[in-house]
Structure 1
């Protein structure tokens, strides 16, 4: 079999192309998978196919990783999926109510005119039909008035299961604290939900001896983040060329911590090429896989720019 070339981005689905990686050649696999949140590149996925894809990709690492190698998955642990079987999350946010009509006033009107519809009650009380509905039922804070409810699922558990199925073991768990997202969205202001400000790094280990060399990082780096569970790294400021990029600093930390010079790093969801750029800057080799042709071209262009800049700095 012809193995995937190193220092190259390969177009295709990881579930298929990872079979062509030279066995036990990868020291680290670092990636952030599609989150199944409605992005354009996820349009053909279902929840079941998304889970099956993650499981297959993780299973392929049992052969691709070196003994003692690591798999690091960056993912937002909380995912929301439509589920008709659970009740709607409701909230009566009194601080945001614009109408002076209260629930008690609506109930009193209903008792006085039991035959009235919501529209007739609204006309009688001088408010909107929506106000009547909200006073009686509260706000559906996930999905709006007509959408079905969403169930919150954690994905860390399934990831751990997929790893153990193929002989990879959860080794560590770190938290990437990023810039708060959606701080001003109605979903947050209408509920007690916290602002989204962190993602998870799940670290899996393939049994085998690993090398720990404190000289890879400066003493202050070990103190600040090398031995810390919480990493503070600012988010990418503009996702203008790709919908979901993680910062270069995040990839650099993972690569420097879990690999040595000239090691091979795999990213089966390469996107815009951030992992490859981090590898180039820190003297590592890379294998990239990306199913979208436009992102393969984008990653290749970013690599070309990085190599040109590197030559200028030498």
Structure 2
């Protein structure tokens, strides 16, 4: 066994099984795996084309290691297509306690004689009833053209939380990375906000997050942005080089001493217990004026005064802090100009 400090905050080149065997039992706070799908895809220099028997024998080995190294207070997540998750759950049911199946929006292509696949799944398992958990919120969804809430709250709109709802096990606000110019050289890169939501939900600052199939670094980057330690493993040297380069340019993101998941000036996920600290940095009303007509947008966006509250001023997030695409679209379609804080 190796001292955990020798592996912490590193993107490690090597075989996931062999590296995990060197990690002490019950030493990691969160494990997340997005393994090869065994669909004859090429991942860098690796082809996932095992026969079914060999594939699940291999899966059983790394799943056992993930459970072994996870703390009793920790969580185990496995991401894949629903077809394979049913097999994984059969293996995991003998090792840990099932908590949830999380579905997140990922439109797919028709696959012959079946219904249209429209989600990926994330299995969530724990080892004991002492697992860490924090309520997290996602922002309300608004019409991009009229700014109205998309969900009907049955006449109780005045009672809803000003930021957003507590998340369920169906996530429709985080999407696959479809644009080539936003992707690394990896066939199955996950959106960073997906990992940040999981991390905020089950870990605390300085906890350790491990990903045995790191790819180009998404899990490690999410952990570093949220003030967690990370251990990332991948068998492909090119992916590790990409991950290391990205990690060097990654900084923690905090608003009023609270870690958040943000994109441009939009918050994607916050902890419920942090809302009161973050609320002063949100603009919840913005006026657009055209020919004497005033229109009010109510979508919460970050006040640019938050710049001084970000932990590291070199963060790339700051360079991109600007009006949201939704507000830009609103201006373009309606002709309303001149944003004002009220």
TM-score (norm 2): 0.61
Determine which of 243, 250, 262 is the counterpart of 2:194. Answer: 250
Stretches of structure 2 that go unaligned for 5 or more consecutive residues are 141-160, 254-311, 319-342
CA distance, structure 2, for counterparts of residue 276 and residue 176 of structure 1:
20
CA distance, structure 2, for counterparts of residue 169 and residue 32 of structure 1:
19
The structure carrying a bigger strand percent of its residues is 2
Is 1:194 paired with 2:115? yes
Q: Partner residue of 2:68?
A: 63
CA distance, structure 2, for counterparts of residue 159 and residue 11 of structure 1:
25
Q: Partner residue of 1:294?
A: 238
Once superposed, which parts of structure 1, at least 4 consecutive aligned residues long, lie more than 3 Å away? Answer: 211-214, 217-227, 307-311
Check the 8 A contact 2:216/2:243 in 1, yes or no: yes
Is 1:229 paired with 2:166? no
Alpha-carbon shift at residue 235 of structure 1 (Å): 0.7
Q: Partner residue of 1:133?
A: none
Higher relative contact order by CA 8 Å / sep ≥ 6: 1 or 2? 1
Alpha-carbon shift at residue 12 of structure 1 (Å): 1.4
Determine which of 144, 150, 162 is the counterpart of 2:91. Answer: 162
The structure carrying a bigger helix percent of its residues is 1
SS at match of 2:99: strand
Q: Deviations over 1:94-153 (max 9, x none)?
A: xxxxxxxxxxxxxxxxxxxxxxxxxxxxxxxxxxxxxxxxxxxxxxxxxxxxxxxxxxxx
The higher radius of gyration belongs to: 1
Stretches of structure 1 that go unaligned for 5 or more consecutive residues are 79-154
Alpha-carbon shift at residue 254 of structure 1 (Å): 0.7
CA distance, structure 2, for counterparts of residue 213 and residue 297 of structure 1:
33
Alpha-carbon shift at residue 227 of structure 1 (Å): 3.5
Check the 8 A contact 2:35/2:213 in 1, yes or no: yes
Q: Deviations over 1:246-278 (max 9, x none)?
A: 111111111111111111001000001000111
Q: Partner residue of 1:139?
A: none
Q: Partner residue of 2:33?
A: 31
Q: Deviations over 1:184-208 (max 9, x none)?
A: xxx65xx553333210110011125
Alpha-carbon shift at residue 304 of structure 1 (Å): 1.4
Alpha-carbon shift at residue 21 of structure 1 (Å): 1.3
Check the 8 A contact 2:132/2:202 in 1, yes or no: no
Check the 8 A contact 1:11/1:292 in 2, yes or no: yes
Q: Partner residue of 1:72?
A: 77
Alpha-carbon shift at residue 77 of structure 1 (Å): 1.2
Distance 1:198 1:218, change over 3 A: closer
Is 1:2 paired with 2:2? yes
Alpha-carbon shift at residue 63 of structure 1 (Å): 2.2
Q: Deviations over 1:280-305 (max 9, x none)?
A: 11111111110111111111111112
SS at match of 2:29: strand
Bigger mean CA offset, 201-210 vs 232-241: 232-241
Check the 8 A contact 1:226/1:257 in 2, yes or no: no
Alpha-carbon shift at residue 24 of structure 1 (Å): 1.2
CA distance, structure 2, for counterparts of residue 43 and residue 218 of structure 1:
36
Bigger mean CA offset, 6-15 vs 192-201: 192-201
Distance 1:14 1:176, change over 3 A: same
CA distance, structure 1, for counterparts of residue 164 and residue 35 of structure 2:
27
Alpha-carbon shift at residue 3 of structure 1 (Å): 3.4
Alpha-carbon shift at residue 245 of structure 1 (Å): 0.6
Bigger mean CA offset, 293-302 vs 220-229: 220-229
Check the 8 A contact 2:104/2:121 in 1, yes or no: yes
CA distance, structure 2, for counterparts of residue 29 and residue 58 of structure 1:
10
Task: State the Cα RMSD in Å.
Answer: 2.6
Q: Partner residue of 1:181?
A: 108
Alpha-carbon shift at residue 72 of structure 1 (Å): 0.7
